[in-house]
Structure 1
Amino acid sequence: MAPDQQAALDFYCGLFGWQGEIGAPELGGYATCTLDGKAVAGILKAQPMVEGDPAPPTVWTTYLASADADATQTRITEAGGTVLSPAIDVGKIGRMMMAMDPTGAVFGIWQPVDFYGAQVVNEPGALAWNELHTPDTPTATAFYRQALDLDSVPMEGAGMDDYYSVNVGDRAVCGMTTMGEQAPPGTPPHWLTYFSVADTDRTVDELVKAAGNVLVPAFDMVAGRMAVVTDPQGAVFAVIQPVSM
């Protein structure tokens, strides 16, 4: 979600080698970004969810899949979450809603019909990981288990005492960690999007040349070399060069 959709498209296409253009009016101009012809992400102009409200912040939104968005919406409410935008049809490609967990982190729900989401992941220029930063991991753990059947367990070998693997069954699909003092003042609970890159340092250099900003300079950690950055409009994301590359 970005105030200047075209500028966002130009930035990410230049940084990650994506292709994309502003979409059809009936889909709100939604731009599906592709890498070598495969969908990797989407960019939409930030607009108020309800007429008269302010436009949403410039962010990357994590979407979690659901077989039934309406049923999930009910479960989210029952688990103590807040519905920000009720379930609606998106053309003929799917059904979506937006919600906030009890700790304040915003996320989306996507019920696919003709479009299932990212078609390539864990490759340079594509989505690599999603990570919940929350001040209250017990509350978040209970919420996502009740609302979405996601289980959180300590991640062995993560190099952090408060890092959790969020699993579907026995498969890790995202992470969760406690927001600590290292978070800048005023940082709200949030989901952080990671994109895989071939060279973290080079990508950060290119991002800065394109008017992006560095929040956490490149550093080595157990999963690879990563940095936390923002695009020129302020959307926060992470880039990581996995250890396997």
Structure 2
Amino acid sequence: MLSTDFVPGAPNWLDLGVPDADAAVTYYSAVFGWQYRPAGPEGGYGFFVQDGRNVAGVGPLTEEGASAAWTLYFHTPDADASAKTVEQAGGSVRVEPGDVFDFGRMGQFTDPAGADFAVWQPTGSKGVEVAGAPGSLAWVELFTTDAAMAKAFYRTVFDWQCTDVPMDPGLTYTVLTPAGRGEEHAHGGLTELSPQNVAEGARPEWHPYFEVADCDASHAKAVEAGGAALVPPTDVEGIGRLAILADPWGAPFAVIKSVVPGAS
């Protein structure tokens, strides 16, 4: 389960790039009850806030031709070294590592299949200030066209432990855990897109899961506010009840009411 006890390889930040940041604030406030706090007086980038704590960032798209998307950042002790490892492992650097004031150092990359991700090397800011609680990041997930490649690539970059879990019908889900941590510290998973998914336009991408108190109610709010339902609320044994959506600009995200270990 995610927490703010960040270790190398664990998700520690996420932000939304979107054509209309003001409208996105309105949308996600309706879905999760988030507030907004600008990062500076000039506007642009800002923070989604819950109970006074930062849960994510939001800002306008900055890359030509980019589509709305959530970008997931993973903890690194050295962003520059991570960039070199990404390139050596077959990925590419979209944004060279650079300092973000005195908060930390970031770099943005693309894996060999085309999924974008990023790293955050913290100094003044560790990252999100709450995780695993309702309204905050609870899990991250990669859809890819080549699961074997993805496992090899991310093991090289982050040294993740990868545990394959068979799923029906004949599918495999890979659970991702930071190096040296137990399964209770798993932070995400990856799965391979089916040929049908690819034919229908699905592409390799990471997306976030946000913990909620009621999956069905949050799903309904997200759709009523203008989002699109991709996977309806579904029970997954031992995991919880989840749904996958896209916001009004097409950025995918998911909501989950997780099973509490030991709960009856």
TM-score (norm 1): 0.91
* Contact 1:155-1:164 at 8 Å conserved across structures: yes
Map residues 118-137 of structure 1 onto 2, 5 A cutoff: 118-137=128-147
Larger RCO (alpha carbons 8 Å, 6+ apart): 2
Higher strand proportion: 2
* Contact 1:123-1:196 at 8 Å conserved across structures: yes
* Contact 1:22-1:31 at 8 Å conserved across structures: yes
What amino acid is aligned across from residue 192 of structure 2 in structure 1? T
Deviations 1:177-218 (A, max 9, x none): 111246361111011210111111111111122111111111
Match of 1:176 in 2: 190
Match of 2:86 in 1: 76
Q: CA deviation at 1:110?
A: 0.7
* 1:39 and 2:63 matched: no
What amino acid is aligned across from residue 134 of structure 1 in structure 2? T
Match of 2:12 in 1: none
What amino acid is aligned across from residue 180 of structure 1 in structure 2? S
Gaps of 5+ in 2: 1-16
Paired residues in the alignment total 239
Gaps of 5+ in 1: none
* Contact 1:144-1:150 at 8 Å conserved across structures: yes
Q: Percent identity?
A: 39
Match of 1:18 in 2: 34
Map residues 48-127 of structure 1 onto 2, 5 A cutoff: 48=63, 53-54=64-65, 56-127=66-137
Q: CA deviation at 1:158?
A: 9.7
Match of 2:223 in 1: 208
Query: Any idea what SS the aligned residue of 1:29 has?
Result: coil
Deviations 1:74-94 (A, max 9, x none): 111111111111111111111
TM-score (norm 2): 0.84
What amino acid is aligned across from residue 170 of structure 1 in structure 2? R
Backbone CA RMSD of aligned residues: 2.0
Deviations 1:53-100 (A, max 9, x none): 33x210011111101100110111111111111111111111111101
* 1:8 and 2:24 matched: yes
